[in-house]
Structure 1
Amino acid sequence: MTTLRPQHISANEADYGRDGVIQVNGLFTAEEMNTVRAAFTVLVHQDRKTLGAEDDIDPGDILSRYPRFMQPHRRTDLEVGRIARRLMTDSRLLDTVQRLIGPAHGAQSMFYFKPPTARGQAMHQDNYFLRAHPETCLAAWIAVDDCDAANGALSVVPGSHAMEVVCPEEADAEESFTSGLVRPPAGMRARQTSMRPGDVLFFHGSLVHGSLPNTTTDRFRRSLIFHYVPQSSLEIASWYLPLVAPDGSDRTIPVASGGGPCGDAWPGAAH
C-alpha cells in the first residue's frame, strides 16, 4: 500500500449501502478505553501465550512480544474476557449493528496491540475467513488509542464491498504480518482513517481494508474488534462457533467448509 491522506468516512447509516463502511465517533468514552487498554496490557505482560494467535513469530519481531489476542470473549475466567463479552453485547454497538444488518449474533473478538515498528496487515476481506452465508459478516473496529497514518490506522476502500470475496494473493512480508493480499477493484482507492479512543468503524465483510506498519517510535495502535453475523445466517466457519446472542448466551449454527482465524500469519518464523 502507498501512503494515504486521511479522508472523511461517512457517519450516516444511509451511506452504508453505498460505501460499505461508516465511522461513528465517540461511541465509547475515553475512560472506557482506558479500562480496556489497561486490562489487555496487564495480560500481555503477564502471559502473552494465553490468547496469542501467533506462537512461532521470530523472537526478534516486536509482535512476538505483543501478539494479537483472539476470541477473548470466550475466556470469562479472565478480566479481558469479561470486558470483551460485555462490550460485544453492549447496546451501543448492537443498536448500530442491527440497523445495518438486522438482528445479529457476535462471532469474533480480537485485540491488536500494534506496537511501534510493528508491521501492518495487507488489504483483505473478512468474510474470506468467516464464511458467513448466505449474507456476510459485519466488523465493529474500536479504536483504543489515537490512531492515524503514522501509527498504522486502518485504511478502507469504500464501495469495494460490492465485489465478490476473492482468493488472496501473496502479501509483502516486510509490510504485513499476515500472508494474504486482496487488491482494490480498478478505479477504487483506499482512504486512510483517523480515529480517537472510543470511535468505531463499522464495515461490510466484503470491504477491502488493511493497514500499513506503525512507523512511530512511541505510539501503540491498540484496537478491539468484534465481528457479527445476521441471526438468519445458515452457516459459518467452525472457528467462530459458538456465536453469542444479544442476551449473552451461546448459539450454534451449521459449520461452513473452509475459513479460519481472521488473517493468516506467515507460516514459520522466517518472516
Structure 2
Amino acid sequence: MDFKFYCARSPSMDSNARMFFDENGYYVKHSLFSQDEVAEIRDHFMEMRKEGEKPGDYGGDAKKGDGDPLNKFPRFINMQKWDTKTDVWQSDPRLVSTASTLVGDDVNLCQTMLYFKPPGSRGQGLHQDNQYIRQYPIIAAWLALDGCDKANGQMIIVPGSNKLGVLPVQQADMARSFTPGETIIPEGAQEIGIDMEPGDVLFFGGFTIHGSYSNETADRFRRVFIVHYYAAHLETLPEDPSTSMAGVSR
C-alpha cells in the first residue's frame, strides 16, 4: 500500500478529550466546520449524485426500484480517486490533527465515504469498522452535513465497546439495515444516540460499535462526509470468519 502520512498532532487539544476517547471509543468535536463549509461540501456531493452512477455505489435494493430511496441516493466511496475536492477535504488539518491526537499516532488515508440517508431510508446494522477493515488501529471522522437526531437516523454508539476487541457478526435484518451484517451485541451493552449539528465531527475507533436506525422523516436528509484514517503503526488482525463481515451475504 502506498501511504501518504499526515503528521499533525494538535498540542493544544484538551488532554481530557484523549482520555474520553480512550475510555468511551468516541469523541465529538463541535462546530469544527463552518456552515458555509458544510454547505459547500453538501451541495458538491448532491450535484455529483445527479450526474449518475459512480464507482463503488452501494445501498439500494434493486428489486424495490423507486420504493427504496437508496436506489436514488446510494452511498459514495473513495471519492478522492476521482474527485479533487474530496482529496482536499479528507486532508483538512482540522480532521487530520484531531484524528492523529486521539489515536496517538500519525495517520494516513484509508478511505472516504458520503452517506446521503434520504427520507424514508434504512439505517445500517450496528457494527465495528474492524469487522470490515482488518488493519488496526483506525479512526473515523464523521462530519455531519445535516442536523442528526433520532428522527432522521442519528449515529448510535455503544460507549466502551472499543475495549472489547473484534466481536462476532451475524446476519442483519435487511428490512432495517442496508448492509447485510451486524455485530452480536454483548449482554448489558448500552446504546446511545449522538445528536449533532451541521459542522460537528464525531471521531470513533475501529473497535467502537456504531450504526444507525431508519430515517423516519418525510423531508429530512441525514448526510455525512466520512474519512477513515489508518494509524502510522498498524497491526493486521487475525483472519477469523466469525468476526468478519466478508462472509455475511446480502
Partner of 1:173: 174
Partner of 1:82: 84
Q: Which amino acid aligns with 1:39?
A: H
Query: Structure 2: 5+ residue runs without aligned partners?
Result: 1-15
- Quote how far apart the aligned CAs of 1:173 are: 1.1
Q: Residue 34 of structure 2 is aligned with which of 29, 38, 59?
A: 29
Q: Select between 194-203 and 81-90 the one with higher mean Cα deviation.
A: 81-90
TM-score by length of 2: 0.84
TM-score by length of 1: 0.78
d(CA) in 2 for partners of 1:267 and 1:47?
Answer: 26
Partner of 1:113: 116
Partner of 2:212: 211
d(CA) in 2 for partners of 1:267 and 1:232?
Answer: 32
Count of aligned pairs: 229
5 Å matches for 1:52-201? 52-54=57-59, 57-58=62-63, 59-75=66-82, 81-101=83-103, 102-132=105-135, 135-201=136-202
SS of the counterpart of 2:28?
strand
Question: Do the aligned partners of residues 103 and 41 (structure 1) sit closer, same or farther apart at CA in structure 2, a change above 3 Å counting?
Answer: same
d(CA) in 2 for partners of 1:144 and 1:55?
Answer: 21
Deviations 1:212-266 (A, max 9, x none): 0000000000001110111112559xxxxxxxxxxxxxxxxxxx9799xx977x9
Q: Which amino acid aligns with 2:148?
A: C
d(CA) in 1 for partners of 2:249 and 2:71?
Answer: 14
Query: Structure 1: 5+ residue runs without aligned partners?
Result: 1-10, 76-80, 237-255
SS of the counterpart of 1:136?
strand
**Identity of aligned pairs, percent?**
34
**Which structure: greater strand fraction?**
2
Q: Which amino acid aligns with 1:104?
A: V
d(CA) in 1 for partners of 2:228 and 2:17?
Answer: 20
Q: Are the counterparts in 2 of residues 178 and 263 from structure 1 also a CA contact under 8 Å?
A: no
Deviation >4 Å, runs of 4+? 256-259
Deviations 1:108-164 (A, max 9, x none): 1000000000000010000111111xx321111110111111000100001001112
Q: Are the counterparts in 1 of residues 35 and 198 from structure 2 also a CA contact under 8 Å?
A: yes
d(CA) in 1 for partners of 2:50 and 2:97?
Answer: 34
Q: Which amino acid aligns with 2:167?
A: V
d(CA) in 2 for partners of 1:67 and 1:42?
Answer: 14
**Which structure: greater helix fraction?**
2
